[in-house]
A = this chain, B = another copy of it.
Amino acid sequence: MIDAERKFREYLSEKGLRFTSERLAILLHVMSLHEHFAVDDLHHQLRQKGLSISHATVFRTLALLIDCGIVQKLPCEKMPARYEHIFGHVHHDHMFCLRCGRIIEFHNAPIERWQQKVAEEHRFQMTGHHLIIRGYCEKCH
């Protein structure tokens, strides 16, 4: 059993929810992906693996995985939303290429620290943030 499964089982148990085969299948597939994906991507890939899990269940399970802290939803300008697993990864932010759609990840410690400082100055209790840099990637200048 992978760590993410243990974490998900604990989360569901504490909430009085059930660990179903659909939820396990979605968790394992999401943990196997190393890109940013849309709900439809995930749904099609599960069907190709022979699993017939409904659209609704994919949405519902992703909401649980987000609440559990295993998955993150990216605030895309254009729908549909993109998701990625963050369990076992350090925090990062994103650059979106406006031409080719490429998503570049980065982490910058000074930006993270200044965010903390700005929040403190405004007596704002920060629980999270998202920073998106828009523009054109190396190939698309």
* Closest B residue, CB atoms, query A102: B124
A123 interfacial contact with B, CB 8 Å? yes
Q: What are the residues of chain B within 8 A of A95 when measuring CB–CB?
A: 119, 122, 124, 126
Interface size class of A (residues with CB under 8 A): 20 to 34
Q: What are the residues of chain B within 8 A of A135 when measuring CB–CB?
A: 119, 124-128
Give residues of chain A (65-89) contacting chain B, Cβ–Cβ below 8 Å: 75, 77
- Alpha-carbon distance A137/B135, docked complex (angstroms): 31
- Alpha-carbon distance A137/B125, docked complex (angstroms): 6
> Which one of A17-25, A30-38, A40-48, A104-112 contacts B?
A104-112
* Closest B residue, CB atoms, query A129: B133
Q: Are A118 and B136 neighbours in the complex by a CB distance under 8 Å?
A: no
